[in-house]
Each structure stands twice: as structure tokens, then as C-alpha cells.
Amino acid sequence: MTTKSIDLSLEIWRQKDSKATGDFETYTLQNISTDMSFLEMLDVLNENLTREGRDPVAFDHDCREGICGMCGAVVNGIAHGPEPETTLCQLHMRHFNSGDTLVIEPFRSRAFPIMKDLITDRSALDRIIQAGGYVSVNTGGAPDGNAIPIPSTTAELAMDAASCIGCGACVASCPNGAAMLFTGAKISQLSLLSQGQPERKERAMAMVTAMDKEGFGNCTNERECEAVCPKGISIRNIAIMNREYVKASVLG
């Protein structure tokens, strides 16, 4: 199998620190193997920049296998790039053509301040989890794996919601900068299972309150989040969250 190479023009958001006003800078790259991932392509760019004595482009990454939720940028207006259900690290250069111009921007939202270049502070999502995205378990002997019977459809739904890696693409793509898909997934993941029942109401109230406090916008059901989610999480989880919230606030 022969490897194809492509030439690219990149327009990347450069911003020195959280206080600086950033701007786009244009770079050109030659001979990029189409077997490379998007992040490997950025690695090549950074090697070139370092050799030239220039500041490399700062971007977040960790596992590079699509499960940690650390990477992410907006490529040509779409969070995590054009491939559906793919994180930026799993996006390969074979999806682009020679001569393409790629505009690479950080995940933007009022609740995600930019730290440097493509790195944003997504700790607002952590604080939503801290508010109630957990179950309190009294320690003791480990329960038997099959001691609590759960219908397989429920288990599947909970697992679908639990596949959220917290990357923040939902917030970045939402025209309102809302974090409802993230919070909805985290709430429904626990509310569907028996372990989540004791704290169900407190959880819904606390996590929604935390979400509002962080300055995220409101959901107007635009469905952008679901379209860019690298894990394909459905907005059905937002509907579940709405039900949970109404139940908790009206019925108490």
C-alpha cells in the first residue's frame, strides 16, 4: 500500500495567554502523510516551528485513542472536524485533500476561557460533576456483579450516556454555549441505574444549578451538540435531564 501525501494551508488561532487578544496565523505544511492523525499533523507543524525557533502551537491531548476527552479543536467550523463520531486525535488526514485550507480554532464558549492557542480551561465541566455527578457508596464487601438485575435496554441506555468523555465539543458547537448534553448525559447515566436512585433528586437540582452558575447558555434544541459529539450521545439525554429536573423541582 502506498502512502499518499498532501500539502495543506493552516490558519490557526494563536493567543499568548488568557489575557492576550489572539489572532489567526497562517502556516503551510508539505508532504503530510494521509496516514497521520490530525494531532500528528500538528506535531509536524510544531517540530517545524521549533526548528525555526518559533513558539509551537499549544494544544491539549493525552491518550490519542479517542477515549480520554482531552483533545479537541474546531476545524473549519465543526468541533473535532468533519468526521462524525470522531475525536480530533482519531481524525485522519486521509479525509482531507491536497491544497485544503484548514481553519483551526479553540473550543469557544464564555465558560471555556482560552489559556493559550488551542487550549481552553474546561474545568467548568469538572465543577458540574463535583456538584452531583457521583454516587455515595458506603464501603463494605464488593457486591456481586449480577446481584442487581437491570433490564438490558436500561443498561444499554446508561452505558450510552456514560460513554461521554467530557471533551466539551457539545458546548463548543452549541450556538448558545450550553452544556446541556454533557450534564444530561451525566445525570441520566446515574438516574437510569439503581445505584443512582438515593441521590436522584438532589443530583438533578445540584448539577443543573452548577451548570447555570458556570455561565453556560440555555438549550434551544438546535441539535448541534448531538451532531458533533464524538461518542454520538443523543439529545434524548437532555430530555431525560429535563424530566429529572422538573420532577425534582415540582414534586420535591
Of these, 224, 230, 231, 248, which contacts other proteins (CB under 8 A)? 224
Taking CB under 8 A as the rule, does residue 57 contact other proteins? no
Q: What minimum distance in Å lies between the beta carbon of 80 and other proteins?
A: 10
Whole-number Å distance between alpha carbons of 65 and 56: 23
Spatial separation of the C-alpha atoms in residues 211 and 156, rounded to whole Å = 26
190 binding other proteins? (CB under 8 A)? no
Residue of 5, 43, 162, 217 interacting with other proteins (CB under 8 A): 217
Question: H-helix or E-strand containing 225?
Answer: helix 224-228
Contact with other proteins (CB under 8 A) among 5, 11, 33, 64: 11
Cell numbers of 206, please? 445540584
DSSP 175: T
Smallest distance, other proteins to C-beta of residue 216, A:
6
Among residues 36, 167, 178, 207, the one that binds other proteins under rule CB under 8 A: 178
Site for other proteins in 22-41 (CB under 8 A): 24
CA–CA distances in Å: residue 49 to residues 29, 55, 58, 103, 190: 11, 6, 12, 18, 46
Q: Which residues contact 131 (CB under 8 A, 6 or more apart)?
A: 206, 207, 209, 210
Tell me whether residue 24 or residue 134 sits nearer to other proteins (CB atom).
24
β-bridge pairing 23-33 and 5-14: antiparallel
Residues 102-141 that bind other proteins (CB under 8 A): 103, 105, 108-111
168 binds other proteins (CB under 8 A): no
Residues with Cβ within 8 Å of 160's Cβ and at least 6 positions away in sequence, in order, are 233, 234
The residue ranges that bind other proteins (CB under 8 A) are 11, 24, 74, 76-79, 103, 105, 108-111, 173-178, 215-224, 227-228, 235-236, 238-240, 242-243, 246
